[in-house]
Structure 1
Amino acid sequence: MISVRQVVDGELAALREVRLRALAADPVAFGSTLDGERARPMAFWRERLARGPWFVAWAGQEAVGVVSAVPTPTRAEYRLEAMWVDRAWRGEGVAEVLVDAVLAWSRSRGATSVALWVFDGNSAARRFYERVGFRPVGRREPHPEKTGQFRECLRIELRSGS
């Protein structure tokens, strides 16, 4: 059975560990790098947690997925970032419960939408996001660190009580 918990300060080591696993397993899916984040002190992880919530999916004592919700300046919209599910757990509903956690948390803060960026070539992630209701908004931009690669913005509108 999968459970999802919002990360608290005492779980920073677990957050760091699952994030580093994500970067090692799927480096092209993220804007940052394994080496860059591995070198960061725990203060970096504490600052990331202070910016917005992180949620970890657990199968017993094993962290099998992670996602973050980051506020935008208006707080009417949050961004879903750093989504990852361990390959062994893909197709088992982990991604859905992580997205649900971000949507519920954003809705509880009064947001009207949640947006995300998906990198070109990450077609499985794009199909998943579209399946759960995210839609392209017509914004594309270059990858922040990889020349010649692009990403596209998708958004889901939140309805109160949904």
Structure 2
Amino acid sequence: MYHIRQLQENELPLYKSMRLEALRLESSMFRRPHAEEAALPDATWLERLTHPGAVFGLFENDTIIGITGVRLLDGQVGYLGQSYIRKEYRGRGLSAMLYQARIAWAKKMQLKQLQVGHRENNLVSKAAIQRYGFTYSHREPSNWPDGSTEDVLYYVLDL
């Protein structure tokens, strides 16, 4: 029923529509505004999808219901981001699939560490991050597209 897999170049429309949906519906949880990303050319979207890192689609049968990604910061460290699951599918334990796919990909790429961050008030993300063994690293102030200022909490996982 549910499955996750890395998205391919020909699935750019799936990735783009899901990312823009996330920014439109959950703007307070992402650092980039919807309008800014909606204006990006397809070449930029394609680059995000293919290099340097990976984007995964979460599916119920053939319908995409979420996305997540990992970006290479350098040859040994990856950053997890762009995670989104449609609201009606949350609370079903599906975030486990997002973490498992990204961690498996990072190990396959022989990364040494993964990093992830969340808006301080996002307690659901905090719980999921800690459930997968990430440990708190540091915090940084951030200005959010919704006009507020709130810290981002960062975590690391040594592989």
**Match in the other structure for 1:120:** 120
The ranges of structure 1 where at least 4 consecutive aligned residues each deviate by more than 6 angstroms after the TM superposition are none
CA distance in 2, matches of 1:51, 1:68: 11
CA distance in 1, matches of 2:44, 2:100: 26
**Greater relative CO, 1 or 2 (CA 8 Å, sep 6+):** 2
CA distance in 1, matches of 2:39, 2:21: 14
Contact 1:4 1:55 in 2 (8 A): yes
Contact 2:117 2:155 in 1 (8 A): yes
CA distance in 2, matches of 1:76, 1:129: 20
CA distance in 1, matches of 2:37, 2:103: 26
CA RMSD of aligned residues (A): 1.4
TM-score by length of 1: 0.90
Identity fraction in percent: 24
Task: Give structure 1 stretches of 5+ with no counterpart.
Answer: none
Shift of 1:39: 1.6
5 Å matches for 1:1-80?
1-49=1-49, 50-73=51-74, 75-80=75-80
CA distance in 2, matches of 1:96, 1:144: 29
Count residues with an aligned counterpart: 156
Contact 1:117 1:152 in 2 (8 A): yes
Opposite residue 6 of structure 1, the aligned amino acid is Q
Task: Give structure 2 stretches of 5+ with no counterpart.
Answer: none
CA distance in 1, matches of 2:32, 2:149: 16
Shift of 1:144: 5.4
Q: CA deviation digits over 1:58-101, x for unaligned, max 9?
A: 0022211111111112x222110111111111122321111111
TM-score by length of 2: 0.91
CA distance in 1, matches of 2:128, 2:115: 14
